[in-house]
Amino acid sequence: MEKKSDNLIERPPVVAVMGHIDHGKSTLLDYIRKTNVVEKEAGGITQAISAYEVMHKDEEGKDRKITFLDTPGHASFSKMRERGAQVADIAILIVSAEDGVKPQTIEAKNTIEESGTPYLVVINKIDKPGANIEKTKQELAENEVYLENYGGKIPCAEISAKTGEGVDNLLSLINIMALMENFTGDPGKEAAGFVIEANLDPRRGIEATLIIKDGTLRKGMCAACGESVGSTNIMENFLGKSVSEASFSSPVRLVGWSKLPAVGSQFKSFSSKREAEKCATEEKSKMDEARKKENGLAASSETEEGADASNKKIIPIVLKADTLGSIEAIEKEIAGIKRDGAEFRIVQKGVGPISEFDIKTVSFPENTLVVGFNVKTDKSAMEISQQKGIKISLFDIIYKLTEWLETEISEREPKKDAEEILGRAKVLKIFSRTKEKQVLGGKVLEGKISANGAIRIMRRDFEIGRGRVANLEKNRAKTGEVEEGAEFGMMLDSKTEIASGDILEFFSVNAR
């Protein structure tokens, strides 16, 4: 059991802002920071976790630091929201007083409660003409979110992120919650915390954003996360400014990792590179063992090119994105696109621009989708893709990518054959029978029957076989068609032995 440190001091809270898309998460942080992030986001949607530090004076005039995590509201980014709630000390569930409770509001609430993170509710957009605070509180209560003075104990702040009304009260409420929760840390320890984002910068290399939950990170130290080792030679704060050290609750970006660290994973720091590499080697051994077990359990179900054991058409995807968080979100979107006859399968994925290597590894150019999200395409990759006839599709808004994938799978899904019944006839008498041919007489009950038509043989409403018309006669004369109510003679090609009273269904096959 780890010995409790004698050097514990008060630690600023890490706060995750969560809620439905367009309910004002980024606008709130913009007001608090006096900067504008929304305009930089494609389509006005936050599509990555961002971390920011702010200072706020408490009632005694003392400066208190708060670290905010801005998390995406779109449904596909639930993994990133889960990560935000795990890293955070306090969560804010933001709800629009104009729109009320929405699907991602409930999803965010469930994520917060499952993580065990204490939270408060912020009712935003109270300045809007259509705002209805009481109705919003009622909807929250209907979804088991019971606010203070409304039958429960969850703190609530009513604000306008646009005008700033109520924001100071919100920050004071966060500080009170932090004092009640008594968050502490030991500045003398080597830093530990979580990786909240990682990406590959074409110029600088692999960089990762960390939230320090305890201890201090200084230049000259090394960090380890899973199999990856990171240097502190380039260490930046949330403003992108170089810093020589950072302590608990601070977001910090390290540039220069041996490989992309897994987003959401814990990191540790060490005074020497040797210690960090030893930790990474041990983690690699554990991961390799886990992968062996996983590969042993999950043998490939593919049986042929472009299909699997379920006879679904497989549509391969090569996916490149700006961050691991974006890849997670897109993977969730792809997993949610279901079709009976086809499915997407990511055959290659990675962070960074679409490269020559990505294009060269495409096995089936006519069938593979190469997709980029918030990334560009290298010139050499573009040239090779044109030579091989591979289309590259680039997106910067998640729902646009999803809509495109829905269209692609609909167009590529194998068409099913629909059988249309043209007529039904009853067998009245069997005249002769050989191994594969039968001569019979019958009467058309409905529709019409035709020569060379396909037939389904029914007995007591069950199909017992199929056949095809070899010859059709009416009034002892050969004919191409017999209408409803008329009797006929027929030679039928079928291995199924037909009996008087059987029903013959004549049908055509149409692709749909």
The pLDDT of residue 80: 61
Do the Cβ atoms of 246 and 232 come closer than 8 Å?
Answer: no
User: pLDDT band for position 305 (50/70/90)?
Assistant: very low
pTM: 0.64
The pLDDT of residue 258: 92
The pLDDT of residue 303: 38
Quote the Cα angle for 24-26-28, to 5°. 65
CATH topology of domain 417-511: Elongation Factor Tu (Ef-tu); domain 3 (2.40.30)
The pLDDT of residue 295: 53
Q: Give the residue from 471, 405, 467 showing the smallest Cα distance to 436.
A: 467
The pLDDT of residue 220: 93
Do the Cβ atoms of 70 and 53 come closer than 8 Å?
Answer: no
Residues of the chain with CATH 3.40.50.10050: 307-412
User: pLDDT band for position 307 (50/70/90)?
Assistant: low
Does the pLDDT value for residue 103 go beyond 80?
Answer: yes
Residue type, 424: R
Do the Cβ atoms of 118 and 153 come closer than 8 Å?
Answer: no
| Stretch among 68-82, 216-230, 260-274, 383-397 having the lowest mean pLDDT | 68-82
Does the pLDDT value for residue 244 go beyond 60?
Answer: yes
C-alpha span between 53 and 33 (Å, rounded): 8
C-alpha span between 127 and 166 (Å, rounded): 11
pLDDT per residue as tens digits for the range 46-85: 555 578 888 887 777 788 889 998 766 566 556 666 676 6
pLDDT per residue as tens digits for the range 125-148: 999 999 999 999 999 999 999 999
Does the pLDDT value for residue 34 go beyond 90?
Answer: no
The pLDDT of residue 72: 66
More confident: 303 or 463:
463
User: pLDDT band for position 212 (50/70/90)?
Assistant: very high
The pLDDT of residue 302: 43
User: pLDDT band for position 183 (50/70/90)?
Assistant: very high
The pLDDT of residue 512: 53
User: pLDDT band for position 298 (50/70/90)?
Assistant: very low
pLDDT per residue as tens digits for the range 393-436: 999 998 899 999 999 998 888 766 667 889 999 999 999 988 78
The pLDDT of residue 181: 92
Does the pLDDT value for residue 2 go beyond 60?
Answer: no
User: pLDDT band for position 510 (50/70/90)?
Assistant: low
Please state the separation of Cα 39 from the chain's center in Å: 24
Does the pLDDT value for residue 309 go beyond 60?
Answer: no
Residues of the chain with CATH 3.40.50.300: 9-183
C-alpha span between 109 and 81 (Å, rounded): 10
Q: Is 265 exposed, middle or buried (0-12, 13-18, 19+ CB in 10 A)?
A: middle
User: pLDDT band for position 291 (50/70/90)?
Assistant: low
CATH topology of domain 9-183: Rossmann fold (3.40.50)
How would DSSP label each residue in 114-181? HHT--EEEEEE-TTSTT--HHHHHHHHHHTT--BBTTTB-B-EEE--TTT-TTHHHHHHHHHHHHHHH
User: pLDDT band for position 1 (50/70/90)?
Assistant: very low
C-alpha span between 140 and 105 (Å, rounded): 9
pLDDT per residue as tens digits for the range 435-448: 789 999 999 999 99
What is the CATH superfamily name and number for domain 192-288?
A: Translation factors (2.40.30.10)
C-alpha span between 455 and 505 (Å, rounded): 5
The pLDDT of residue 73: 58
C-alpha span between 186 and 214 (Å, rounded): 6
Please give the average per-residue pLDDT across 342-347, as a whole number: 90
User: pLDDT band for position 36 (50/70/90)?
Assistant: very low
CATH topology of domain 307-412: Rossmann fold (3.40.50)
Please give the average per-residue pLDDT across 1-7, as a whole number: 56
Q: Is 485 exposed, middle or buried (0-12, 13-18, 19+ CB in 10 A)?
A: exposed
Q: Which helix (H) or strand (E) holds 431?
A: strand 417-433
Percentage of residues in the chain having pLDDT higher than 90:
50
Does the pLDDT value for residue 35 go beyond 50?
Answer: no
Chain mean pLDDT for the chain? 86
